[in-house]
Chains A and B, each alone.
Chain A
C-alpha cells in the first residue's frame, strides 16, 4: 500500500502557483520524498525529490516540514500543460530493490485558463 495521502483532485488558475499537499506521517528516517506526474497517455515524469531540506529545480519546489510528516509540491506559475496526475511517493534505497516506487492514486491537477 502507498504510504502517502493526497487530495483526489485540485484546480488551479493558469499563471498562479499550484500547491499540492502530501501527507506521509509514517515516513522513516532514510526514506526520500519523490514527486512524479503523469500527463494523460504518457509515462510518469520525474519532477523532484528530497530528504529533509527544501529543494528547487527548474520544474518545481519541494517543501518538506521539519518533522517530515508532510510535504508540498509547488509549481510557481502553472500552465495548461501542467494538467496531470501528480504522485507523491516515499521510497528508500535497498540494494536489491533499487528504489522501487509504490504509487498511490495521486492528485489530479486541472489548470484552467
Chain B
C-alpha cells in the first residue's frame, strides 16, 4: 500500500503489561512522528525521528514510553508497565525530508492509529 500503516489496530493490555506498537511509514519518507490522541481530544505530539535519529522526544509523557527507528524506516513505540491513563489512540505520521519541502513546508501523512485500551 502507498500509505502509512500501523499494527496492531487494536490492543487491549492489562495494567502493568508492556506493549509495542508498530509503524510502517511511506517509503522514502525521512521524517516520522508519533502522536497520542485521547478520547474527544486532538492528537498530541510525542516524538520525532529524522531517519534513525530521534531528534525530539519532548512529548513523551514519562520514562515508561520509548520509541525507536533503528534502520530509519519502521518505528516502534513501546510502553512499559502500562497504566489506565495510557489508554488512547496512538498515531504515526511520516513526511518528506526537509530538502524535499516544496515552498518551505510539507504535510504529514497519518496512519489509521492503534487504539490501546488498558484494563
Chain A residues at the B interface, C-beta cutoff of 8 Å: 2, 32, 34, 36, 42-46, 49, 51, 85, 87, 91, 93, 95-106
Task: From the candidates A96, A99, A106, name the one contacting B95 in the complex (CB within 8 A).
Answer: A99
Q: Tell me how far the C-beta of A30 lies from the nearest C-beta in chain B, rounded to whole angstroms.
A: 8
CA distance A22 to B111 in the complex (A): 25
Is the CB–CB distance between B55 and A96 below 8 Å? yes
B residues in contact with A36, CB < 8 Å: 107
B residues in contact with A34, CB < 8 Å: 105, 107
B residues in contact with A105, CB < 8 Å: 41-42
Chain B residues at the A interface, C-beta cutoff of 8 Å: 4, 31, 33, 35, 41-45, 48, 50, 55-56, 59, 91, 93, 95, 98, 101, 103-113
Is the CB–CB distance between A43 and B91 below 8 Å? yes
Is the CB–CB distance between A98 and B43 below 8 Å? no
Is the CB–CB distance between A98 and B91 below 8 Å? no
Is the CB–CB distance between B42 and A87 below 8 Å? yes
Task: From the candidates B45, B107, B109, name the one contacting A49 in the complex (CB within 8 A).
Answer: B107
